[in-house]
Structures are given as structure tokens and as C-alpha cells.
Amino acid sequence: MSAPLKPSEIQKARELIASASRIVITTHKSPDGDAIGSSLALWNLLRAAGKHAVVIVPDELPEFLKWMHGAKEIMVHQRARQETEKRIAESDLVFMLDYNHLSRTGALEPVLREHKAPFILIDHHRQPEEFPAVVYSDTAQCSTAQMIYKFMVWMDWKQHLDRHSGECIYCGIMTDSGSFRFPSVTPETHHIVAHLVEHGVDHAYVHRMVHDNNREERIRLIGYALGHKLEVMDDCSTAIISLSEEELQRFNHQPGDTEGLVNQALSISHVNLAAFFRESGEEVRVSFRSKGSFDVNRLARESWNGGGHFNASGGSTREKLDEALTRFRREIRLQANQIRQS
């Protein structure tokens, strides 16, 4: 495996971990399968290596990710601000996983920004911040969980890989690769997951716990979104789904309930761009997915205060939901030829 980290950087990471006594693992707000999978994989590996670590997330994680080993130990800043901020203040090493800019941590940003301990960044999104002591950034990787596997090898922790850490890595890879269907999946990805299965990971169990573990209300929400809120702009090869806070509350929305909804819109044969708009408090969060050569990362960065990958990105706006949708339709019509031809 080729290493984006230089030998000197690998050695620096080893030294930082060896000298640390209180390690904090952080990830982005609205954590998904890769965020939680990579965080818990690292947590399990660090504990097996004899290190004390804690995972701190900005807000609540989805119910369908709470089966992973260590999930009960995760600290949620949104409901334990004083305790989580104390843990960060007392830590002597911080990991940034599955995000590359502190703004992605929401209310945790000022706490992390002021912290003087060294940071190690492991992430596969574009344009990372450069302040961490070690920056492992590789946009060619299909997931941060895959990068955790490689980081494990460089840290000489392969003997610590077991079913628990393997399930977390597998979950992160599976969810962020769209069950291994995205172009970012490589032969290396399949070699890694084969090694995980050899170490006791039951891939069918992981898939079942993530995808076949839904509340009835979530299924009804998805049905409503697809049946009543799907808008297809045929002349722009674009599909849009939007949900207001009132609509979400009607179905007792929980974190993760709309995960993957934007991919359903993208699955329409003649659609090359899909967008999902979700009202959340005083902001509207948006997810973009595309097929082919249309760069939604640029769209998210230039117009929606976000970013991500070439074919999968997200952002947000302080506009009202209707205003955001009107602006998006206007922007897309200006790019209709490019979208259709992608």
C-alpha cells in the first residue's frame, strides 16, 4: 500500500500517541457511519494498545449505529457540554476523524480551536486545515475507516485488530462507499475488507444492523419524502427532495432517519444531480450527489458554505427553506447543459 504519510510523519504520530495519556477522538456534527465507524475503530485499537481514549461527538448519533462496540461510551457534547469540554481541556492529544476543518464540529469548534494539545487529522475530504501536527489527508480513499486500517498498519497495531475494531472499520467502509458501489472503491478496499472477514467480521451482520434495523416511523418518513416531496427537473437532469421541520416532526424524526435519501433521488435513470434540503432550526442543511463529471464539491463550496467530495458533498444556509430551494433551482438552470452532459 502506498503511504501518503512520510516515514517521518508516521514516526511523529507514533511518538505523539506513545507520550499521550489522555486522548480525545472527535468527528463531525450529524455523524454518519464512516464518522462513528472510524472513531470507534480507533478507540478500540487504542484501548487494545493500552492507551486511554474517549470519543466525543458534537451531537447525537443515529440509533442504527449504536450496536458497534464502544458506542455506549461515546460522549455527546450537545447533552453533556461541561463534561465533554473538560475532557478536551484535559487531553494531551486530539484526533480529527472524517472532517478536515474545525467548523464541521459545530459548537465544539471554539473549544477545539483554543486547545493547545497536538492534533492528528485523518480524513479523505478536500482542502484540509494545515494546523494539526500530523495531517493524513487522502481524497483517493473511499472512507476514513479505510484510512484507519492503513493507519493501524503504520502504527504496528495489526495484532490488536479483532472482531470489534474490524466491524467498526467494515461499517465505515461499507456506508461511505455505498455498499462498495462508488468509484472510489479500489482493489485495495476489497483486500482490506477480506482481511477483516478473515479476522472474524460477519459482513452480513454488519449490513443487517445498519440497513435492516429501521423504526417504522423512519420508513413512513422515507415513503412520504419519495411519494410527496420528490421534484424532478427533467430539463436539468436534476431531482430535489425537501423536508421542513414540521414534516420531520410529524414522523418523529430521529438522527440518521434521512440518511441515504438523496441517493434514492439520484437513482432515477436520467437524473445526474440530486439534492436533499432539510430544515434544521435556523438553518437549512443540504446534501448533494452527482453522477459522472458534475462537481458537487465546487457547487457546495461556492454557493452553500460546504464542501466534500467530487460526487458527494453538503452544505448549509441561513435562508428559509423556500428561499433556498428557489435559489438552487435558479443556479441549476444556469448549469443545465453541464449537468445533462455529465
Containing 122, the helix (H) or strand (E) segment is strand 119-123
Please say which residue of 161, 176, 211 terminates a domain.
211
Alpha-carbon dihedral angle through residues 67, 96, 285, 83, given to the nearest 10 degrees: 70
In a domain, 2, yes or no: no
User: 196: pLDDT confidence band, cut at 50, 70 and 90?
Assistant: very high
Which alpha helices (DSSP H) does 27-74 contain, by range? 33-48
Q: What percent of the chain has pLDDT over 90?
A: 97
- Residue pLDDT, tens place only, 148-193: 999 999 999 999 999 999 999 999 999 999 999 999 999 999 999 9
Do 157 and 264 belong to one domain?
Answer: no
What CATH number has the domain bearing residue 283? 3.10.310.30
pLDDT score, position 3? 53
Q: How many domains does the chain have?
A: 2
pLDDT score, position 2? 45
* Count of residues making up the chain: 342
* Cβ atoms of 157 and 51 closer than 8 Å: no
> Residue 4 pLDDT more than 80?
no
Do 236 and 149 belong to one domain?
Answer: no
> What are the distances in angstroms from CA 79 to CA 21, 25, 96, 142, 146?
25, 17, 20, 31, 30
> What are the distances in angstroms from CA 23 to CA 16, 52, 82, 243, 263?
10, 6, 17, 38, 35
Do 77 and 128 belong to one domain?
Answer: yes
Mean pLDDT of all residues in 47-52: 98
> Residue 25 pLDDT more than 60?
yes
> Residue 298 pLDDT more than 80?
yes
What CATH number has the domain bearing residue 19? 3.90.1640.10
Domain that holds residue 140: 7-211
Buried b (16+ CB within 10 A) or exposed e, 315-324: bbbeeebeeb
Burial class (CB in 10 A: 0-12, 13-18, 19+), 92: middle
Please say which residue of 178, 211, 244 terminates a domain.
211
Give the 3-state secondary structure of residue 223: helix
> Residue 35 pLDDT more than 70?
yes
Please say which residue of 211, 230, 250 terminates a domain.
211
What's the whole-number average pLDDT of the chain? Answer: 96
Three cell numbers, residue 191: 483486500
In a domain, 173, yes or no: yes
Predicted TM-score (pTM) of the model is: 0.93
pLDDT score, position 316? 96
Which is it for strands 283-290 and 238-243: parallel, antiparallel or unpaired?
unpaired
In a domain, 253, yes or no: yes
Do 251 and 186 belong to one domain?
Answer: no
> Residue 1 pLDDT more than 80?
no
Mean pLDDT of all residues in 267-286: 97
Do 174 and 223 belong to one domain?
Answer: no
> Residue 328 pLDDT more than 70?
yes
Q: What percent of the chain has pLDDT over 70?
A: 99
In a domain, 1, yes or no: no
